[in-house]
Amino acid sequence: MVAEVVKDVSGLDKVASREQEKCLKALSRWLGKISPQSNSKEQVFMSFAHGRDLVLTPGPSVIPDRVLQAMQRPAPNIYEGELVHITDSILQDLGQLAGTAGEAAIYVSNGHGVWEAALSNLFQAGDTVLSLASGTFGHGWAEVGQAMGLQAEVLEFGRHTEVDPAMLSERLSADRDRRIKAVLVVHVDTSSSVRNDIPRLRAAIDDLLRQLPYIILSLREER
């Protein structure tokens, strides 16, 4: 093996040039991680890992190979052709998905941008919203609302249990002045991996005859 040849770098034939020695050292480091502090008989550590690293966390979602392969092509023309036609069709589909006959607008942002867009489109400074927190992102959504001037109340459920519909009903029942304008909930909070039962929470709101906007943020793709 080449690794065996370069294992003792100090014993290279004196006829070999310094450039050859540099190449062999670089090759040994490529084959495995070689200790740069060692002066003689440097040890080569071979890696037996195969394929790409896979981090098994609740998110982000793993990108399938077929999608990665489809991305391996030159950038398309952004002024005419396929990309323009696809964008037009996406705008039409978004309106249907949102259940509106109006115009749909798209813009690039991370999840925090989605929070801000939803809150700014539906509420104004001083409005009260109730955020159901089952992880970090439930709190984050409330913090964005507070930064925008909303009265964002957090109903805490910890990091190991899903949102309890009965507790939601109890809190809404206590809101006799109906100050709460909306309920915010994260479907799957990637910080805790807790998945909330969206239909049961919606039913808890409907049982109280509250016509509240129910904003759902899905942070994990459900397959």
Q: What is the pLDDT of residue 29?
A: 67
Q: Which of 21-25, 55-59, 174-178, 197-201 has the lowest mean pLDDT?
A: 55-59
Q: Which tokens go with 102? A: 């109006």
The torsion angle over the Cα atoms of residues 46, 49, 50 and 55, rounded to 10 degrees, is: -150
The residue behind tokens 């400074």 is: 125
Q: Higher pLDDT residue, 212 or 68? A: 68
Task: Read off the pLDDT of residues 100-133 as tens digits, 9 standing for 90 and up.
Answer: 888 877 778 877 888 888 898 889 999 999 999 9
Q: Higher pLDDT residue, 150 or 75? A: 150
Q: What is the pLDDT of residue 46?
A: 53
pLDDT at 19 over 50: yes
pLDDT at 34 over 90: no
What mean pLDDT comes out for the span 61-90?
A: 85
Inter-CA distances, 83 with 14, 87, 93, Å: 60, 6, 15
Q: What is the pLDDT of residue 16?
A: 47
Task: Read off the pLDDT of residues 139-197 as tens digits, 9 standing for 90 and up.
Answer: 888 999 999 999 999 999 988 889 999 999 999 989 888 899 889 998 888 778 889 99
- Please give the CATH topology (third level) of the domain spanning 110-217: Aspartate Aminotransferase; domain 2 (3.40.640)
Q: Which of 46-60, 64-78, 97-111, 125-139 has the highest mean pLDDT?
A: 125-139
Domain boundaries, the chain: 2-46, 110-217
Percent helix, strand and coil across the chain, each rounded to 5?
A: 40, 15, 45
Contact between residue 189 and residue 167 where contact means Cβ atoms under 8 Å apart: no
What mean pLDDT comes out for the span 47-52?
A: 62
122: CB partners within 8 A, 6+ apart: 181, 182, 213, 215
Q: What is the pLDDT of residue 127?
A: 94
pLDDT at 48 over 70: no
Q: What is the pLDDT of residue 153?
A: 94
The torsion angle over the Cα atoms of residues 69, 70, 76 and 80, rounded to 10 degrees, is: 180
